[in-house]
Amino acid sequence: MSLGATGPVTRSGRRSAAPRLLAVPAAGPRPGGRAFVVLVVLVLAGGLVGLLLLNTAMQRSAFQLEELQQTSAALAVRGEVLDTQVERLRAPDRLARAASRLGMVAMTAPVFLRLSDGRVLGDPRPAVAAVPRPNVEPAPQSQPRPPDPPSSGGPG
């Protein structure tokens, strides 16, 4: 089965004289390269705007974080100062001096009360001051101060 000068064999077994050429319809307008370029530019511009907004939000958050860290540091220092003051006021020698100024005396014979049966454990004796103190009259009750008027909102 060879191709002769007359052409290829058809279904009917006959040879055609020449191959048939068909006309191809003209290509329609191609999808524009311009539309693709516009789409790419729009995607890149949207990405750039998104990055700018993200950067701005991150900078704002960084400023807020810095402000909160400064506030936290100031509050930590204030807390340390207050802790120091509390420890100073709790000192046993200071409490003993304050109690002495109020006329209190140290207990020499401790006594305990057992709650389960109500028994008193120890020898209950009144505490005696080493040096008798004169009777101290309570300070006169002062009139409560009226509340301060509300400020006008501005300094001075």
Note down pLDDT in tens along the chain; length 156 residues.
555 555 566 666 666 667 778 888 887 766 677 888 999 999 999 999 999 999 999 999 999 999 999 999 999 999 999 999 999 999 999 988 898 889 888 888 889 999 999 999 988 888 887 765 555 565 555 555 656 655 555 454
Let me know the angle formed at the C-alpha of 89 by 146 and 110, rounded to the nearest 5 degrees: 115
Residue 72, pLDDT score? 97
Sketch the domain layout of the chain as residue ranges.
33-105
Task: Write out the E strands in the chain.
Answer: 112-113, 120-121
Phi and psi at residue 109, to the nearest 5°: -125, 95
Q: Which of 79, 88, 84, 126 is nearest to 106 (CA)?
A: 126
Question: 112: Cβ–Cβ under 8 A, 6 or more apart, which residues?
Answer: 120, 121, 122
d(CA 109, CA 104): 15
CB atoms within 10 A of CB 102: 8
Return the closest-CA partner of residue 112 out of 124, 94, 100, 102.
Answer: 124
On whether the pTM is more than 0.75, the answer is no
Contact criterion met (CB below 8 Å) for 117 and 130: no
Of 33, 61, 35, 56, nearest in space to 48 by CA: 56
Cβ contact 122:110 at 8 Å: yes
| Residue 8 near residue 15 (C-beta atoms within 8 A) | yes
